[in-house]
Structure 1
Amino acid sequence: MANSRCKVSLRAFPEKSNQSPSCQSVLLQRLLDSHHSFSLLAKKGHFMSTHEIDSIAALPLATNISWMAEIETFWVATDSEELNDLQRDGATAVIDLAAEFEAGKGLENSDLRARVIGRMSDIQVRDFALGSHNEESAQWYWKMWRELLVSAPPGFVAPIASVFAALAYERGDGELAHKALDRALADDSQYSLAILLRRVFSAGWPAQSFTVMRRELHPKVVNVIFG
């Protein structure tokens, strides 16, 4: 699916970007910097196996024509005149849907699920989503991202799979994290966050360090979106 989402070259990333702040990912920059430092010392990680390893395959819903059409209406174009409004809408939708999952109603609001999947096409919404959970809410976000991953249509899988991979890695399930990255890269082989997460996870970067970095960066992402 052709689109104008922000693409970040890993080779050029350390250099100053000429993109607007709304199209830059502070998460990618920090990950890249940290990976360069850690990779000098790290050994390849040894990952746990999991019974959930086959549980993230796409459901038939993911290729349902009407479902795909609904999600497409929420896709975020980087040149939109209402870009910031769309980003705010996406970030708010993530929080609202997580609350629905906490209340046990996560599968009842298909419009909200479609909105989150579509808005995740924006890198700021994606980075906001990655930092939105804490220890208390992690289980609800885990369920939410898994459900969204298995129902995301082609062209919308990569950002959701990358976020799910990060949560899996933080839970100590590196094998499932890599499986999720397989899905992300199958959807978009050039998806920068998935490529970088693959390098970070394969290097055995401590999950706790990733958690700390994610939490430190979240306020910056919130500021970009909400000002």
Structure 2
Amino acid sequence: MRPAFEDINAELIALGEMRDKPAGTVRITTFKHAATSVLCPVLPGFLAAYPDIRVEITVDDALTDIIESRYDAGIRFSEKVAKDMVALKVGSDIQTAVVGSPAYFANRPIPNTPQDLAGHNCINYRFATSGGLYSWEFEEDGRPFQVRVDGSLVFNDGDLLLAAALAGQGIAYLFEDRIADLVAEGRLIKVLAKWCPIFPGYYLYHPNRRQTPPALAALIDVLQVS
């Protein structure tokens, strides 16, 4: 009975929102990077165009069940989206990068291959969901492979990874858009560039309903155009 009740609820929400412009609250769960790189850039224009819509964003690296937690949608990488969801690409492809500060490399050799990372202090990321450490992903001649790194610091937040790298505390694996300006300013040095893969961008996903709530549909339209 649960899917039927959810469809009825969605229809009631849609009926309540039917007016000259969409209205209501859109609740979204997503990663911090997706929030800052995909959602935040479009929100000023979107909210100005739709003053009766309120957007609530929950940043959560865990794989939240959007139906159970009553979210309208989530934004994740495609491989993290359940097969029974409607998924729409809302972000460009994402380049990865490995970086360290000039102070860190002052007395250490630059790694030439991912295997050289074994001799470096690498800053690890721990998954909120599984509790495991992220294995750094690389690519050679189109073939992906992973390298498990070690170091004295472990975080579960990308901002702290970046701060530690800037402070000279080790090498970090981050998204290119997070570090491009810092590399241009000389505050970070990018290494292993030819080994770093490009990931498909983020996908917005939501339950497969007959009627998408108008407020959510309006936000999807803006995200797919941007």
Q: Say yes or no: TM over 0.5.
A: no
